A and B are shown apart, each in its own frame.
Chain A
Amino acid sequence: MLHGLIDKIAGASATDVEAHCDVPCAIYDPAPLLISALTVVRMIDIMEELEGHKPDSAIAYHNTMGRCVAQKEEHAEAVKHDVRVIWGDYLKAPQFEKFPNSHDLVHSIMLTASKCKQGVSRDDAVKLVELCNEFAELFWATKGVDTKRAVCPYKPSLETVYPVL
């Protein structure tokens, strides 16, 4: 609560200090961001299910709805963070030359993830998964690793990119 207040009042004027993992470890993998994108879809699905089957208790309803909103927000932000790290730390000039659409793709992911935070459109969330799939394919292509698309074996059961190792 205090953090949120400080963020609103003075967050814009705060100076960033890096405490990043600056070994560098060179461990990059798009799997977490794909799971986060799928989670955004799943949270919207659960919210829609809840709206259709409201529990008797208003408190229980608001509790579950609040938790879903919080998780949707957190995972959409995680998508933005993880994409930013791969784009900013891993991708370099040779990859940008080979994949000239990478900047536009990353920008689209940022905008779509923000839309998912602002609203509850399932179409936006599904689009986010698809953009993340394209990003994962681009990432694995830079490593010369083939990928396949398969429906993830859990809800929301959407097509997801996996490396063929």
Chain B
Amino acid sequence: MYKLFRVRGRSMLPTLEDGDFVLARRLPRRAKAALRRDSIVCLRHREHGSLIKRIDQVDAESSLASVVSDGQTGTGSDTLGDIPLAHITHVAKLVIGRRRGLRRL
């Protein structure tokens, strides 16, 4: 099941620009522990709501993932904390960029 997301903000520059659309595939529970480093994922954060971040590391044992931003000013797990895999909902597959057109992630 795929879902369309719209990126708000610039913390994922240069990969994703403000206003870009991202087509992302829903992650089945069993696939979350197999998430690969550098995947771009959509997740729910308790304080910050719906976020888009890049996977840094996945610890299948603790079911936690650490995430990073691509942009210099964006935050990652150092500020957000580790993300429970259950809160990672989608993995981004395709970007429909405002300026750079269609790209595969």
Contacts and interface: CB of A to CB of B under 8 A. Distances in A.
Contacts of A3: 19-21, 96-98, 101
Interface in B64-101: 69, 71, 73-75, 79, 96-98, 101
Interface string A17-30: 11111110100000
Contacts of A17: 5-8, 22, 42, 50-52
Interface residues of A, number: 19
Contacts of A7: 21
Q: Is the interface of A mostly helix, strand, loop or mixed?
A: mixed
Contact of A20 (B5, B6, B8, B97): B8
Interface of A: 1-3, 6-7, 10-11, 13-23, 25
Contacts of A22: 9, 11, 48, 74-75, 79
B55 interface: no
A7 B20 CA distance: 10
9 contacts: A1-B101, A2-B96, A3-B21, A15-B3, A15-B6, A17-B51, A18-B48, A22-B79, A23-B73
Given A2-B96, A3-B98, A19 B11 contact: yes
Contacts of B19: 3
